[in-house]
Structure 1
Amino acid sequence: MYRDPPTLSWPFSSLLISSVWIPMAAMEAEKEEIHVLMVSFSAQGHINPLLQLGKRLISKGLHVTLATTELVRHRMLQSSSSAISAGAGIQLAFFSDGFSLDYDRGSNIDHFMDTFGAAGPVNLSALIAGRKFSCIICNPFVPWVADVAAEHGIPCAMLWIQPAMLFAIYYRFYNNLNPFPTSENHSMTVELPGIPVLKTEDLPSFVLPSNPFGSFQKLLAGLFQNMNKMKWVLCNSFYELEKDAVDSMSEINPIRPIGPLVPPAILGEDQDNDVGIEMWKSEDRCIEWLNRQPPSSVIYISFGSLFVLSEKQMGSIATALKNIKRPFLWVVKPPDGPKKSGDHGQPPLGFSEETKGQGLIVAWSPQTKVLLHPSIGCFLSHCGWNSTLEAFANGVPVIAFPQWTDQPTNAKLIADVLRVGVRLRPNQEDGLVSHKEVERCIEEVMSGPGSEEFKKNAAELKVAAREAVANGGSSDRNIQLFVDEIIANCVVER
């Protein structure tokens, strides 16, 4: 399991290419042969946005294959997950990341990323050989895919799976366009075009001098200093959500919002056409439990699939939940592998029994169904971008508990920019969030003076998200533009 530091546009009826008009009829004929390959890092939160994009590309008439590592296939089989519904039409392919299935990829992240960066290109290239793809789409943590695509003469796109604001921050940081905190001035504020003023606590952890992961620094620097390898940059966000950040990049390195790429049920679409994977088995009994709770009463708590909280922090959250006496649904993923002495990430002993009539603890939840449920009042979240988008698209207020990577910036967006929730503040002494702080934030979001504003703003985001992906919406137009350009590129080549 990955852990923090050891302490731890418009559619066109025709396109003008090289001064030659290409009628849509010819493009429709070409579309039948167009096959897109999507390549993902082996994390559920990286794969699912690509699958949602793949489903939308299929709806535009393209063929889609998703390639990821053998580890994902192994975990899917273990969780008895039906990875993709029968009607989705997305093919799956797998390649080796250079490690055996039983290797603990979280034991040394830098070693894993370096090895994967060496073995991945060779194994992916072998998978591509002999097959005809018109475009390859990668996500940020496999940037070497662009080099593989170039070797095979295939144009490459990147799906940026974090907010457009993060893309703008990283681009300016890794290309030295603006000043950022240093070891000598680690508390400076950062002012960037189209982005609110950011304190150190609002910045993504990878741009801070305290970042301990050298492999991510190298990977992101290589990505953002070589963006010319990407013919297109797509973003899992929507224009109405991040207008200023998107516009700020228009003259530097344009980014096209095509999201939110979330399950269709969240957007009011047919949930039978859903597509996605679960690498851990969900406990559906939580829905039966939610059915018995009053409307807007339940605190939903989930910190995603990667991060593990300390024993003391879990204790603080548990104490707060007992004290506030509100119903809660808490997702606590068990530790990977055999339990060792000193393992944390679990509630205190006896907590389940003490709160038996108040809450429910599950190892993994069907989050789409949970956030759609009328009994949910707020979401206490680590602020991973997928979970954040799902909360926005459901109109659910958020209590932000960011840990690393993009999460602090997402929390800034939630609490200070969009005003759809609050942010937990840790003690300066030990870096822990006290039970009193957890209690304060829960009460503020659920029934405090600002709670109605949070609910109103969240409800407006829900409407905006649905309008963006609807036929003719801003994200739908950008996807259509992307499809038209892939088709035009194929026609010109032939």
Structure 2
Amino acid sequence: MALQNHHQLHFILVPFMAPGHFMPMIDLAKLLAQEGVTVTVVTTPVIASRFRPIIDRVIESGLPLRLLSLRFPSVEVGLLEGCETIDAVHSLDLMMKFFKGIDMLQQPFEQLFETLEPCPSCLIADKYIAWIGDTVRKFGIPRILFDGMNCLTLLCAHNLENFKDYENVSQSEPFELPGLPDRIELTKAQLAMFLNRSSPEWQDLRNRIKAAEAEAYGVVINSFEELEPRYVDEFRKVKGDKVWCVGPLSLCNKDNLDKAQRGNKADIDENQCLKWLDEQEPRSVVYACLGSITNLSLAQLIELGLGLEASKRPFVWVIRSGDKAAEIEKWVEEDGFEERTKGRGLLIRGWAPQILILSHLAVGAFLTHCGWNSTLEGVCASVPMITWPMFGEQFLNEKLAVQLLEIGVSVGVQTVGHRFAEDKCEKLVDREVVRAAVENVMSEGIGEETRRRARVFGEMAKKAMEEGGSSYLNMRLFIQDVIKLVSHKDSTQEGGLENY
């Protein structure tokens, strides 16, 4: 049931242009609209077109949600026309140009902002939209940070900010992360996104993001309290209690159409996919998907495929489109892989309807890169994980799943992957390791406790989002906090709000 008297509230949402960021932001928009808040999502034309069918269904249901787009200046910054998302960027040089394009959105956004009705109450923006801090100061409204990571990762990032002991540690030597409730060890290489003191241009962006984070009124997080209770508590201490865990946001997608279309149009007919899964035994299928922006060498992709084949289990293998697509397709044909695994293996080229697949009773294990969205979607589906982190915060997510929650088995990757130079890591994991990891999760012996714990956390996730659950209540507390801010601003009749 929606809270009452929200017709005056208007939340503006600005997602970062990466699948792992804009998908949960759209889910957040839907949930806010269900609470009676008027919501406007501002993004780029390519992302808007991906979500238009879902948003249109929400609008048709009578909820106050709208989707507006700003032209992304791809050509002006040296990118190809239509390059508007991170998964279309394939080098560090192009990445810098991409962020310059994001900076150029500030002026048209502010021009659009002045026309929005009703008057915006707050702005929820991804932390990578660094100029948002300037905009909210100009218009005198609170800025809420949306972060696509969990509380463990955010607390770790905060603690590492002023931690200097790691400077005498080698790149490959594990060290204990400071100030955490549990003993967690990682290497400097695995924490590169937090410790890297990069080129002046990138450092300037990092500094702007940090400044915007420090100025934000609070943080909305796609997690739930029961999953990482001690890390939620500790991070709230850091942020003065202005932390609202409102996830798992993906659970707002109830019907198969929303599940199938989340993030992008699937490159397989959802009915064909469901029909294949219906033919498999319950909890027998391994679903292997290593993310939308992960690059593996051809040699590593082949080892992954042969490991799935050697497991003797039915599997769904998602092969992302990109530079390696033609090479792996050639291998599949020449090696006879698809023919040998016909009936037991389903190959999806491109975008997969991941939530639809994971929520099917036939799926018994999820081989994942440990991106936070994927990890959380695995938790929601009560599916144990086979973890294969690559870069970013993924090694921390693996620690959460394998060490703290005990709902997964690691393939043992220690080396950090290279997103823009995958051939530097020809082969990290061989086929026998893949086969053994699948067996560990799926077998009757060692895998039983892992599967049981996965079921427990899956139930916790669903209860958190139900009426009276922790995330349900946090969403309402968040909205009520914004109401108080707006009321205070109206009562004081000041031109702006400080510390937002």
Structure 2 residue 349 is the aligned partner of structure 1 residue 359: no
Q: Deviations over 1:176-220 (max 9, x none)?
A: 1x34633753324123233432221794430244x8787665444
* Change over 3 Å in CA distance of 1:427–1:246 after alignment to 2: closer
Query: With CA pairs under 8 Å and 6+ residues apart, which has the higher RCO, 1 or 2?
Result: 1
Q: Secondary structure at the match of 2:440?
A: helix
Asked whether the equivalents of residues 334 and 346 of structure 1 are also in contact (C-alpha less than 8 Å), the reply is no
Q: CA deviation at 1:430?
A: 6.4
- The match for 1:334 among 313, 321, 330 is 321
Number of the residue aligned with 1:123: 108
Asked whether the equivalents of residues 40 and 139 of structure 1 are also in contact (C-alpha less than 8 Å), the reply is yes
In the TM superposition, 1:55-66 aligns within 5 A as 55-66=30-41
Structure 2 residue 112 is the aligned partner of structure 1 residue 112: no
Q: Secondary structure at the match of 2:403?
A: helix
Q: CA deviation at 1:60?
A: 2.0
Q: Secondary structure at the match of 1:361?
A: strand
Asked whether the equivalents of residues 190 and 391 of structure 2 are also in contact (C-alpha less than 8 Å), the reply is no
**In structure 1, what residue type is equivalent to 2:70?**
F
Number of the residue aligned with 2:451: 455
For 1:319 and 1:272, locate their aligned partners in 2 and report how far apart those are by CA, in whole Å: 32
Q: Deviations over 1:212-267 (max 9, x none)?
A: 787665444433344332111111101111111111123322432111111335xx
Number of the residue aligned with 2:23: 48
Number of the residue aligned with 1:142: 129
For 1:121 and 1:400, locate their aligned partners in 2 and report how far apart those are by CA, in whole Å: 38
Asked whether the equivalents of residues 19 and 263 of structure 2 are also in contact (C-alpha less than 8 Å), the reply is yes
- Is the deviation greater in 223-232 or in 273-282? 273-282
Number of the residue aligned with 2:179: 192
* Change over 3 Å in CA distance of 1:74–1:56 after alignment to 2: closer
Q: CA deviation at 1:149?
A: 1.9
Structure 2 residue 22 is the aligned partner of structure 1 residue 36: no
In the TM superposition, 1:414-493 aligns within 5 A as 414-426=401-413, 432-447=428-443, 449-493=445-489
For 2:337 and 2:89, locate their aligned partners in 1 and report how far apart those are by CA, in whole Å: 31
Q: TM-score, normalised by structure 1?
A: 0.84
Q: CA deviation at 1:155?
A: 0.9
Asked whether the equivalents of residues 330 and 360 of structure 1 are also in contact (C-alpha less than 8 Å), the reply is yes
Q: Deviations over 1:117-140 (max 9, x none)?
A: 420212221221222211100112
Q: Secondary structure at the match of 1:449?
A: coil
In the TM superposition, 1:366-445 aligns within 5 A as 366-426=353-413, 432-445=428-441
Number of the residue aligned with 1:259: 247
Asked whether the equivalents of residues 202 and 411 of structure 1 are also in contact (C-alpha less than 8 Å), the reply is no
| Structure 2 runs not aligned, ≥5 long | 76-80, 416-424, 491-500
Q: CA deviation at 1:466?
A: 1.5
Number of the residue aligned with 1:182: 167
Number of the residue aligned with 1:93: 68
Q: TM-score, normalised by structure 2?
A: 0.83
Q: Secondary structure at the match of 1:158?
A: strand
* Change over 3 Å in CA distance of 1:102–1:52 after alignment to 2: closer
Number of the residue aligned with 2:214: 228
Q: Deviations over 1:267-300 (max 9, x none)?
A: xx56688797433434122211111111111110
Q: CA deviation at 1:76?
A: 5.8
Number of the residue aligned with 2:42: 67
* Change over 3 Å in CA distance of 1:159–1:374 after alignment to 2: same
For 1:346 and 1:385, locate their aligned partners in 2 and report how far apart those are by CA, in whole Å: 32
For 1:278 and 1:378, locate their aligned partners in 2 and report how far apart those are by CA, in whole Å: 22
* Change over 3 Å in CA distance of 1:38–1:449 after alignment to 2: same
Counting matched residue pairs gives 455
Q: Secondary structure at the match of 2:111?
A: helix
- The match for 1:158 among 121, 124, 145 is 145
Asked whether the equivalents of residues 402 and 408 of structure 2 are also in contact (C-alpha less than 8 Å), the reply is yes
Structure 2 residue 237 is the aligned partner of structure 1 residue 241: no
* Change over 3 Å in CA distance of 1:419–1:184 after alignment to 2: closer
**In structure 1, what residue type is equivalent to 2:90?**
G
Q: CA deviation at 1:170?
A: 1.5
Higher helix share: 2
Asked whether the equivalents of residues 314 and 346 of structure 1 are also in contact (C-alpha less than 8 Å), the reply is no
Asked whether the equivalents of residues 160 and 178 of structure 2 are also in contact (C-alpha less than 8 Å), the reply is no
Asked whether the equivalents of residues 84 and 276 of structure 1 are also in contact (C-alpha less than 8 Å), the reply is no
Q: Secondary structure at the match of 1:137?
A: strand
Taking every aligned residue pair, what percent have the same amino acid on both sides?
27
| Structure 1 runs not aligned, ≥5 long | 1-26
Q: Secondary structure at the match of 2:238?
A: coil
- The match for 2:301 among 314, 330, 349 is 314
Asked whether the equivalents of residues 51 and 276 of structure 1 are also in contact (C-alpha less than 8 Å), the reply is no
In the TM superposition, 1:282-321 aligns within 5 A as 282-283=267-268, 284=270, 285-321=272-308
For 2:23 and 2:358, locate their aligned partners in 1 and report how far apart those are by CA, in whole Å: 17
For 1:288 and 1:256, locate their aligned partners in 2 and report how far apart those are by CA, in whole Å: 39
* Change over 3 Å in CA distance of 1:425–1:43 after alignment to 2: same
For 1:191 and 1:391, locate their aligned partners in 2 and report how far apart those are by CA, in whole Å: 28
- Is the deviation greater in 97-106 or in 243-252? 97-106
* Change over 3 Å in CA distance of 1:243–1:180 after alignment to 2: farther
**In structure 2, what residue type is equivalent to 1:455?**
R
Q: CA deviation at 1:90?
A: 2.0
- Is the deviation greater in 213-222 or in 66-75? 213-222
- Is the deviation greater in 442-451 or in 411-420? 442-451
- The match for 2:194 among 182, 207, 211 is 207
For 2:47 and 2:151, locate their aligned partners in 1 and report how far apart those are by CA, in whole Å: 27
**In structure 2, what residue type is equivalent to 1:264?**
C
For 2:200 and 2:56, locate their aligned partners in 1 and report how far apart those are by CA, in whole Å: 35
Q: Deviations over 1:353-404 (max 9, x none)?
A: 2221320101232212211111101000111111111110110000011111
Q: CA deviation at 1:444?
A: 0.4
